[in-house]
Structure 1
Amino acid sequence: MQKIAISCPPAAPMIVGTISVPAGPVMGLCQDRLVNAAHIINAARSFGIGTHTQAIGVMTALGESGLQNLSHGDSAGPDSRGLFQQRANGAWGTLAQRMDPYTSARNFFAALVRVPGWKTLSPTEAAHRVQVNADPNHYTPFWSDAVAIVTALSR
Structure 2
Amino acid sequence: MPDSTPQRADYRHFQPIITRWHDNDVYGHVNNVTYYSFFDTAVNTYLIEKGGLDINDGEVVGFVVSSACDYFASIAFPEHIDIGLRVDKLGNSSVRYELAVFKTGEDEACAAGRFVHVFVDRATNQPVSIPGVLREALQQLVM
Q: TM-score, normalised by structure 1?
A: 0.30
Higher strand share: 2
Q: Which has the larger radius of gyration?
A: 2
Which structure has the higher relative contact order (CA within 8 Å, separation 6+)? 2
Higher helix share: 1
